[in-house]
Amino acid sequence: MIIELKSLDEIDPCEFAYYANDPNINTYLRNSFPAPYTLDHALSFITHSLQHHALDFAIVVDGKCVGCVGVTFQKDIFLKNAEIGYWLNSQYWGKGIMSQVIKMLCSYLFSNYTIHKICADVFAENKASCIVLEKNGFIQEGYRREHIYKDGCYHDLILYALWRNSDEY
């Protein structure tokens, strides 16, 4: 299995939309992730990301664009922090893909940017995402009870972080 991170201008928006349009993906994502996910959604996401020089990468597995990972650099007094978010089409879950992607991404971020800390906010029920982060050295640094309101229910939020001076970096 070949896993690559590609710029959004190198991928087919139709393929991106096809794999993003998966009802299993958005359970633990923010409401800004559309469901259903159309070609128009893909085009506007890709255009906006490229125009604003955002750090978003397509996750390409054996030549198919089946997911995405994005980085949001924080501002002001938080400027040494970067927040990551990610999704993968559910046909590709459980194969170790995101664990490898997060490893590649963190290594890239610490090598190319002067950030001190990488953060990720995770629904407490999202065990797969917690494991992916923990396998990559992220530590649970906070827990916010009923901090999320989605689809009529409250959910707990876990704050994960990885520091530049951790064992791996």
Residues that bind ligand COA (CB under 6 A): 25, 28-29, 86-88, 93-99, 120, 122, 126-129, 131-132
Least distance between ligand COA and beta carbon 164 (Å): 21
Q: Supply the minimum distance, in Å, between the C-beta of residue 19 and ligand COA.
A: 10
Q: Which residue has the tokens 């490229």?
A: 50
* Cβ 43 to ligand COA shortest distance, Å: 21
- Report DSSP state, residue 52: T
Question: Which C-beta is closer to ligand COA: that of 10 or that of 23?
Answer: 23
Residue 57 or 165: which CB sits closer to ligand COA?
Answer: 57
| Euclidean distance between CA atoms 161 and 139, whole angstroms | 5
> Of the two residues 76 and 151, which places its CB atom closer to ligand COA in the complex?
151
- Given a contact cutoff of 8 angstroms between Cβ atoms, the answer to whether 117 and 161 are in contact is yes
- 119 in Cβ contact with 136 (< 8 Å): no
Evaluated on CA atoms 43, 37, 16, 99, the torsion sign reads positive
CB of 132 to ligand COA, least distance (A): 5
Q: Which is nearer to ligand COA, 126 or 166 (CB)?
A: 126
Give min distance, CB of 152 to ligand COA, in A: 19
What one-letter code names the amino acid at 150? Answer: K
3-state secondary structure of 134: helix
The CA distances from residue 5 to 40, 68, 151, in Å, are: 22, 9, 31
Give 76 or 168: the residue with its C-beta nearer to ligand COA. Answer: 168
